[in-house]
């Protein structure tokens, strides 16, 4: 599979991810409409965003500047190889 380089399609892809996330959040809230659901959903979103930031920015800039991650699978392989 080729890398996505067209700026228009990159923006479309980002908007589709946003749409998927918003749809899932709304459906979860409609399934169980209370403040606990909203709080837990916000914590899940925040923690996964921080994990993603750590996996790509922090590791790349401060732990191993020579390694460039291309995705979560690449990051998992990197972690697995480092443990050996």
State how far the alpha carbon of 11 is from the alpha carbons of 5, 8, 14, 17, in Å.
10, 5, 5, 10
Instruction: Round to whole Å and give the CA distance between 33 and 41.
Output: 12
The two structure tokens encoding residue 67:
């390694």
pLDDT, one tens digit for every residue, the chain (84 residues)? 678 888 999 999 999 999 999 999 999 999 999 999 999 999 999 999 998 888 888 888 888 888 877 788 888 888 888 666
Residue of 38, 12, 11 whose CA lies nearest to 25 = 38
């Amino acid at each position: 599979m080729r890398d996505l380089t067209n700026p228009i399609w990159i923006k479309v892809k980002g908007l589709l991810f946003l749409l998927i996330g918003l749809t899932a959040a709304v459906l979860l809230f409609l399934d169980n409409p209370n403040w606990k659901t909203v709080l837990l959903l916000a914590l899940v979103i925040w923690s996964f965003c921080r994990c993603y930031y750590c996996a790509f920015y922090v590791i790349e800039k401060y732990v191993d500047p020579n390694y460039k991650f291309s995705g979560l699978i690449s990051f998992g392989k990197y972690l697995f190889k480092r443990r050996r």
